[in-house]
Amino acid sequence: MELIDEASTGEALSHSRKQYELAMNGQWESLKRFYKGREFEVLGQMTTKNDTVLHVAGLAGRKDVLVFLISLIEEDRDALIVENNRGNTPLHEVAASGNFDSAKLLVEYNGALVEIRNHLGETPLYRAAAFGHTDLVQYLATQVDGDIKQHFHRNDKVSILHMAVLGQHFETAHWLVTEYPYLANGKEENGLTSLQLLAQMPSAFKLKFRESIWIKLHRHICLCNDDNIDRDPANQNDDLESGFNHPSQSTFSNDDLESGSTRTIRRTTIRWAPICIMGEEMRNQNVLLELTELLVRKDYSWAKIEPTEVVNSFSLVSKPNSPQKKEDAETKSTYEYIPLFIATRTGISQIVEKILELHPQAVEAHDIKHQQNILHMAIKYRRLAIFNIVKKNKFITSRLADVIDNDGNTILHHAADMSYYTDMSFYSVDAKATYGPAFQLQEELHWMARVQKIIPVNYAMHRNKEGVTANELFTRQHAELLQSAKVWMKETAQSGSVVAALVATVAYAAVYTVPGGTNQNGLPNLRHSPFFKAFTISNTVSLVFSLTSLGTFLNITRSPFEYKNFYHSLPFKLNLGFLLLFCSLLVSMLTFAATIVLLIHHQKIWSISLIYVVVAILPFSMFGLNHNRFYDVFFKGLKDIKKKLRCCKRMYVRIRMQL
């Protein structure tokens, strides 16, 4: 029986092969000519999803094709209610494409299309919101008869606002919350509100145009090489899934796409694509922040209060755990957290800041099951920006810092705990990227130092229910990281010392092989040239920097690799060594350039050309290494040197005062 059905379906589809190929290739004029005089085939099956040509033209957003097809079947207005395998009518497909004129055409022809639901329970209004077509949502909302609330939910209870937020269509979501405020507190079947969903989207709050200029340049090159640059990002998934052409692509025929004017338009679009994307991103960020404020104003989940049976207090001895099975905090479902804690976990400081601005009392909210507050969460997940927001008010910080959770952990225990690194999706959103285990260990030591400044002094001796203090927990959990940092630091220092020794050797040899040679008295023949002075100074500086760098790297290999040394001493020495090494390499290039100019200085055209080449190449040579890492090392090295000089200055002042 199945074979017979497959054969009959395949045979029926084979009859529509011609019109299918025309539609997929965007040959709409040829498609019109095909259906002229074949009105009976307009409602025939064209795809395996039981789409008719009306569905295909609707998804492509071709109003002219829809007008022509409707003229063929205008005697039967109910013909537009034809559904595919998903229960979508042509208006559902037009709502996905976002073509306003096509939607208006279908609604004016048959207003009943607005009320029809597909198999998921989605009306065209819901589907337009899911794809972020705000203007179409506003229009369809005015065409609904009766209770519009029936259009705001589908079968699985996911609201129209949830779907707009999930699709990151924030302009549509903003309009929905403004017009229908009760949607803000609506919950889907798992109990999640729209604000809880938004708090799980850290990527939506990151601005790409703030990235390095070199990353932007790389992205621009990729965009220029992308053949699909003019596709609408909001509909790419739908296009890939269905295989249909996007409206912006299908407005031209194949012959039009080959014309020179169209190619010029496409090149212009590609050329200005990064600027357009930047402007659109800034506008979306403004809408997103406005949407966040609207949702936060309606959210009072932080005010939930439940009585607690056990009050944890300071203890110098371990307390046994309750006989109940201990639940790992990371296995806890997301919907059990309020939006404030979800945003803290994911590092979205904008949401946290807005909640604390509109609801100041929310800062004292706590997770009822684990008795953890926002300070515990920020420290646990290494959220420096949120930690600094809470720390602004010293009185509030003191009220939160002495809270001990149900496992007997203080905030210092959470700073020492590395078990939460198992889920790295919660990390490195607003923290600096670390390079190598040594810098990661330094960041961990800095976290301990930050927390120790705000926690009561006696809490350093507090033992949790496992019987360990925070320092003991830190030593236990960071032992493997300490070992990795030792190996990494030694290998890195040895590699740097090899390069420094090579540069020093070249600079030292250049002293005895000066350009132009020497006279009978051993004096350089070109010593009166200004370029010879440049050669001498640059070579001397290169030699000094490389030897100092070599000494710094050798000092690292002989240093004790203990926790306290990774807090500042060892990372500072490594940064200083690489800073000096880079400077020596840079000056070596100047030495080489001065040598060449000395040899050809009598040929002015060659000298000027060489200087131009050096000036042009020198900036790019700075990025031969990882440029992000170079900036970190360079500026951090200068900052550390500045601190050292200030300490020396203060010490000098004290000595003079004593004398």
For residue 474, the model assigns a pLDDT of: 93
Residues 393 and 489 in one domain: no
For residue 476, the model assigns a pLDDT of: 92
Interacting residues of 275 by C-beta distance below 8 A, sequence separation 6+: none
- The number of C-alpha atoms within 13 Å of 183 and in the hemisphere containing its C-beta is 27
Supply the angle between the helices 569-600 and 530-557 in degrees, to the nearest 10. 160
b/e burial code for range 273-298 (CB count within 10 A of at least 16 → b): bbeebeeeeeebbebbbebbbbbbee
- With beta carbons less than 8 A apart as the criterion, state whether 372 and 360 touch: no
For residue 536, the model assigns a pLDDT of: 81
Return d(Cα 48, Cα 132) in angstroms, integer.
27
Domain membership of residue 522 (yes or no) is yes
At which of 155, 183, 213 does a domain end?
155
Return d(Cα 468, Cα 107) in angstroms, integer.
70
How far is residue 483 from each of residues 142, 478, 566, measured CA to CA in Å?
A: 67, 9, 12
- With beta carbons less than 8 A apart as the criterion, state whether 514 and 597 touch: no
Return d(Cα 176, Cα 194) in angstroms, integer.
12
Return d(Cα 321, Cα 464) in angstroms, integer.
10
Return d(Cα 198, Cα 205) in angstroms, integer.
10
Tokens for 277?
Answer: 């994307």
524 DSSP β-pair partners: 518
Domain membership of residue 548 (yes or no) is yes
Residues 426 and 558 in one domain: no
Domain membership of residue 188 (yes or no) is no
Q: Is 530 exposed, middle or buried (0-12, 13-18, 19+ CB in 10 A)?
A: exposed
Query: Which spans in 272-373 are helix H?
Result: 273-298, 339-346, 349-358
At which of 468, 492, 521 does a domain end?
468
Return d(Cα 504, Cα 127) in angstroms, integer.
68
Residues 151 and 106 in one domain: yes
Long-range contacts of 359-362 (CB under 8 A, 24+ apart): 359/296, 359/300, 359/302, 359/303, 361/302, 361/303, 362/302, 362/303
Tokens for 389?
Answer: 């927001």
Residue 386's nearest CA partner among 354, 410, 418, 361 is: 354
> Helix, strand, coil proportions of the chain in percent (round to 5)?
70, 0, 30
The residue written with tokens 């020596």 in the block is 584
Q: How far apart are the first and last CA of the chain?
A: 108
Q: What is the chain's length? A: 659
Residues 149 and 20 in one domain: yes
SS3 category, 366: strand
For residue 266, the model assigns a pLDDT of: 43
- The number of C-alpha atoms within 13 Å of 103 and in the hemisphere containing its C-beta is 25
How far is residue 56 from each of residues 62, 122, 186, 260, measured CA to CA in Å?
A: 9, 19, 34, 28
For residue 425, the model assigns a pLDDT of: 45
Domain membership of residue 640 (yes or no) is no
**pLDDT tens for residues 534-585?**
778 888 888 999 999 999 999 998 888 999 999 988 999 998 999 899 889 8
- With beta carbons less than 8 A apart as the criterion, state whether 67 and 105 touch: yes
For residue 421, the model assigns a pLDDT of: 67
For residue 433, the model assigns a pLDDT of: 47
Supply the angle between the helices 530-557 and 479-512 in degrees, to the nearest 10. 150
Parallel, antiparallel or unpaired: strands 372-373 and 366-367: antiparallel
Residues 63 and 130 in one domain: yes
Domain membership of residue 581 (yes or no) is yes
Which positions of the chain have pLDDT values less than 70? 1-12, 75-77, 208-278, 305-335, 421-435, 514-531, 598-644, 652, 659
CA–centroid distance for 377 within its chain: 21
- With beta carbons less than 8 A apart as the criterion, state whether 526 and 599 touch: no
Residues 521 and 428 in one domain: no
Residues 561 and 460 in one domain: no
Give the range of the structural domain holding residue 78, as residue numbers without chain letter: 6-155
Return d(Cα 22, Cα 32) in angstroms, integer.
10
Tokens for 177?
Answer: 């919350």
- The number of C-alpha atoms within 13 Å of 652 and in the hemisphere containing its C-beta is 6
- With beta carbons less than 8 A apart as the criterion, state whether 165 and 198 touch: yes
At which of 440, 468, 496 does a domain end?
468
Return d(Cα 303, Cα 368) in angstroms, integer.
12
Residue 483's nearest CA partner among 596, 384, 563, 555 is: 563
Domain membership of residue 404 (yes or no) is yes
Interacting residues of 266 by C-beta distance below 8 A, sequence separation 6+: 229, 230
Structural domains of the chain, count: 3
Residues 405 and 500 in one domain: no
Domain membership of residue 539 (yes or no) is yes
Residues 497 and 448 in one domain: no
Residues 96 and 123 in one domain: yes
Domain membership of residue 244 (yes or no) is no
Return d(Cα 483, Cα 487) in angstroms, integer.
7
Q: Which residue type occupies 550?
A: L
Residues 555 and 586 in one domain: yes
**DSSP state letters, 527-542:** TTSHHHHHHHHHHHHH
Looking at residue 444, which CATH number applies to its domain?
Answer: 1.25.40.20
φ, ψ of residue 518 to 5 degrees: the values are: -125, 160
Residues 490 and 362 in one domain: no
